[in-house]
Amino acid sequence: MSDLFEAAGLTDEAPRPLADRLRPERLEDVVGQEHLLGPEGPIGRMLAQGRLASLILWGPPGTGKTTIARLLAKRANLDFEQLSAIFSGVKDLRAAFEKAEGKRATGKGTLLFVDEIHRFNRAQQDGFLPFVERGVVTLVGATTENPSFELNGALLSRTQVMVLKRLDDAALGKLVAKAEEHLGKPAPLTEDGKAALMAMADGDGRYFLNLVEEVFAWNRSQSVDANGLMAALQKRAPAYDKDREGHYNLISAWHKATRGSDPDAALYWFARMLEGGEDPLFLARRMIRAASEDIGLADPTALMICNEAAAAYERLGSPEGELALAQAVIHLATAPKSNAAYKAFGAAKAAARETGSLMPPAHILNAPTKMMKSLGYGSGYQYDHDAEGQFSGQNYFPDGMERQDFYQPKGAGREGPIREKLEQWAKLRRERSGE
């Protein structure tokens, strides 16, 4: 007679997903993370020395964080305890620490694995500190978010952050081979079909094995190519968190590709963000910023084009308005570059902070009253329109402050004539001041 667990399908003989059946039994069998687990990797060296520090495993989904934590406990001869920050609260944490205290009294250590550790609030994270410091638990936290942003500095100072990589094609190829060996037959895919399946996984090993399991279940007489695969399987949306690290990483990539005058790469990152669901108006704002920061007066039309592209998108929406933004992306990437205006503004702000109380020189102050005239306001001012060449060369900086050259055009694009003009004015200024 079956018990309740058997009736629910929770026995060892119950069907399990392929990803679970292929879960590695040894650290050496984990694919794609050799930079951490290999003999020269930080975790590999730790284990070779017979020690294991508290760790934060940071990486995309499906890269083996939970598996590595389990195997680390096994290798270090520690009891494995697992909590999820999604489902656990203060009561669960307290119970886990009390259990670890009891095991420690018997000479047994505990590896406490906390999945999605970034979801614990600051106070809860602080609760780990005394138990980690005293060695009651070896903490292994897993997160998909940047620990620098999501975890307490105090907790980070007591752990080592290990960065897991998304699985590349070589690692995914090993998973296919393991699946074929486990199932006793080759995957019903052509070589380009396998390549397309790997592209669909986007570096997520668990998702990839789920796809492989589905492909094996087709029982087709002929191997499926890339076109057949795309028709049969739903492609997953690219991994992109609009308010988290993916957001900052991709906009950084776009900005640097634009600054580097690579229109193809700039268009690629622009499209990646759009496909990930990014707000096109956020991208428009960043374009306007780039037009001033990286191009400036080398091509003043860049700012106008970006503003017009933003207005066009606001008028048309998606998808029609996206083409205007794409046009602006290409213009920015191919425009001559200069950060002279950006640097000049930064230098001027720094000088303003240092000399914020200095008054303008008297000759450039207005004198609307007789008293102000008697005090010298406006005395000696030269009207530039009446000066030779419409340039007086007077000093407009505060008394007691040396003249500054904040704006130093680089000479690219339209800044070439500007630089020549500034050099000419500087010469006239020296001549008329008697230098």
CATH number at residue 103: 3.40.50.300
pLDDT of 290 strictly over 50: yes
CATH number at residue 294: 1.20.272.10
How large is the average pLDDT for residues 138-162? 90
Residue 90, domain member (yes or no): yes
Q: Which residue has the tokens 């790997």?
A: 198
Are 44 and 159 in a shared domain? yes
Q: 277: which DSSP letter?
A: T
Q: How far is CA 164 from CA 65, 135, 168, 253, 396, in A?
A: 8, 25, 12, 20, 57
How large is the average pLDDT for residues 310-325? 93
Q: 258: which DSSP letter?
A: H
Residue 76, domain member (yes or no): yes
DSSP code string of 354-406: HTTTPPPPGGGS---SHHHHHTTTTTT---GGGSGGG------SPTTS-----
Residue 22, domain member (yes or no): no
pLDDT tier at 253 (50, 70, 90 boundaries)?
very high
* Number of structural domains found in the chain: 4
pLDDT of 232 strictly over 80: no
Q: How many residues does the chain have?
A: 435
Q: What is the pLDDT, as a whole number, of residue 2?
A: 44
CA distance 120 to 56: 14
Last residue of a domain, one of 144, 163, 182: 163
pLDDT of 44 strictly over 90: yes
Given CA atoms 186, 190, 195, 200 in this order, what sign does their dihedral have? negative
pTM value is: 0.65
The contacts of residue 259 (CB under 8 Å, 6+ apart) are 290, 294, 337
Are 136 and 183 in a shared domain? no
CATH number at residue 216: 1.10.8
CB 138 within 8 A of CB 111: yes
Are 53 and 136 in a shared domain? yes
Are 309 and 194 in a shared domain? no
The contacts of residue 4 (CB under 8 Å, 6+ apart) are none
Are 224 and 250 in a shared domain? no
| pLDDT-above-90 percentage for the chain | 44
Are 286 and 315 in a shared domain? yes
CB 294 within 8 A of CB 262: no
Residue 354, domain member (yes or no): no
Are 312 and 259 in a shared domain? yes
With both helix axes pointing from N to C terminus, report the angle between 320-334 and 245-259 in degrees, rounded to the nearest 10. Answer: 50
Residue 352, domain member (yes or no): no
Residue 427, domain member (yes or no): yes
What is the three-class DSSP state of 112? strand
Are 266 and 368 in a shared domain? no
Are 204 and 273 in a shared domain? no
Last residue of a domain, one of 163, 190, 219: 163
Are 37 and 156 in a shared domain? yes
Residue 183: CB atoms within 10 A of its CB come to 15
pLDDT of 34 strictly over 90: yes
Q: 297: which DSSP letter?
A: G
List 161's β-bridge partners, or say none: 56
- Which tens digit of pLDDT belongs to each residue from 357-414? 788 888 888 888 888 888 888 888 888 888 888 888 888 888 888 888 899 998 888 8
- Which tens digit of pLDDT belongs to each residue from 186-229? 888 888 888 888 888 888 899 889 888 888 887 777 788 888 88
Last residue of a domain, one of 163, 195, 215: 163
Are 173 and 159 in a shared domain? no
Residue predicted with more confidence, 345 or 381: 345
Could you tell me the residue range of the domain that residue 158 belongs to? Answer: 33-163
Residue 3, domain member (yes or no): no
Residue 302, domain member (yes or no): yes
pLDDT tier at 234 (50, 70, 90 boundaries)?
low
Are 104 and 142 in a shared domain? yes
